[in-house]
Amino acid sequence: MRRLKIGTRGSELARRQAQLVARALQKVDARIQVDLEIIRTTGDNFAGPEFDASEGTGVFTRKIEQALLDGRIDVAVHSLKDLPSRIARGLSFGAIIEREDPADVLISKSGLLLDVLPPGARVLTGSPRRKAQVLHRRPDLVCEPVRGNVPTRLKKLKEGDAEAMILAHAGLIRLGLSAEVTQRLDPVEFVPACGQGAMAVEIRADDDELRAMCAPLDHVRTRLATTSERAFLRALGGGCTAPAAAFARFEAGGDHLTLTGMVASSDGKRLVKETLIRPAMTEEAATEAGQQLAEQLLVRGVAELLGELAVGTRVKIP
């Protein structure tokens, strides 16, 4: 019997995702016994609405990764969008789980779609990326920050004065809350966070035994798509503090990757988007696709937008 300790955050969604990975590993080998180790992260310690760093900065993953490096856990399970675009030294991905729906969704009290919300309506979102795209599409709306896990955010919407909220569809699906959705936002038009909808199983880079155990969990097309998205973000030098996003997909099961990338100003007044299509059935090719798309956007002057937001970031992450 092999006993594994899986590290995860303590939210209901994080625990649900870790349990999904645990069951998948036990299907690979019924002799595996799994214990969950709940780790409170830096991001969990920021309760105020002024905290606006989430996607891709590592605030929800760094302490879990340190526990993995220290040998206190054997495996770490993350929402891939929470991980920085460069994996920590000494760690690697044992598997990227098949992606759930990558789209963002609107939850509206009145049942109205985004384009017909009344002028001045308040929309809750803790993401600079979502805020920028909402304001680009509807500059007459008001975006307000919100913090907390998914059930907490839903409660704040129901009990507060805001009209609507934007969340990731994948988390709602995994929590059995998809009935709350008013509108799915097309990920080509409203670009999601890099890696959104995918789960990462992280292991120590030198743990060949665990790598073999995790290999059957890996979904190749999800790995390739998210590899290109993360390469795009890495080439821009951005993280979640920049309204930058990418969405990659294989159309109709083909071997050509379609990658859409977006960078916006924090107020949404300027938004630059590009799409490229190229063969990408290896990680090297997927990485090159992401880098190429980033270069196309940099040529169009998005470095100024990225620098603008970096200067305005309010929260320093230890």
Catalytic residues, which ones?
A: 82
Q: How far is the C-alpha of 85 from the C-alpha of 231, rounded, in Å? A: 7
255-277 in b/e form (b: 16+ CB < 10 A) is: eebbbbbbbbbbebebbbbbebe
Here the tokens at position 163 are 């009209």
Here the tokens at position 268 are 């949404």
Q: How far is the C-alpha of 181 from the C-alpha of 154, rounded, in Å? A: 11
Q: How far is the C-alpha of 264 from the C-alpha of 245, rounded, in Å? A: 9
The secondary structure of 71-134, three-state, reads: CCCCEEEEEHHHCCCCCCCCEEEEEEECCCCCCEEEEECCCCCHHHCCCCCEEECCCHHHHHHH
Beta bridge partners of 264: 271
Q: How far is the C-alpha of 123 from the C-alpha of 162, rounded, in Å? A: 6
Centre a 10 Å sphere on the Cβ of residue 175 and count the other Cβ atoms it contains.
17
